[in-house]
């Protein structure tokens, strides 16, 4: 992360440069996370809910834990 942060070229005064570099770093981290883990936690939760809905339609659901 340090190398990535230092590689960003932002012009301006100290606090502005710092803020802009953090914004860019945040986007880089989000993109890395999507590539590495395939999306956000929210997307995973929605996918799980949708899968349960499909399962219920096909075979029904029970409260019994497998």
31 secondary structure, DSSP code: H
Q: Which helix (H) or strand (E) holds 4?
A: helix 2-7
Q: What is the pLDDT of the chain when averaged over all its residues?
A: 78
In contact, 25 and 8? CB cutoff 8 Å: yes
d(CA 64, CA 66): 6
Answer yes or no: is pLDDT of 11 > 90: yes
Do you know the residue count of the chain? 66
pLDDT (average), residues 25-49 = 75
Rg, C-alpha atoms of the chain? 21
User: Model-level pTM?
Assistant: 0.54
The least confident of 16-20, 43-47, 53-57, 59-63 is 59-63
């Amino acid at each position: 992360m340090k190398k990535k942060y230092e590689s960003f070229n932002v012009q301006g005064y100290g606090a502005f440069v710092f803020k802009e570099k953090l914004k860019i770093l945040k986007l880089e981290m989000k993109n890395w996370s999507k590539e590495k883990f395939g999306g956000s936690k929210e997307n995973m939760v929605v996918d799980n809910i949708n899968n349960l809905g499909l399962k219920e339609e096909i075979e029904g659901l029970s409260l019994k834990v497998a």
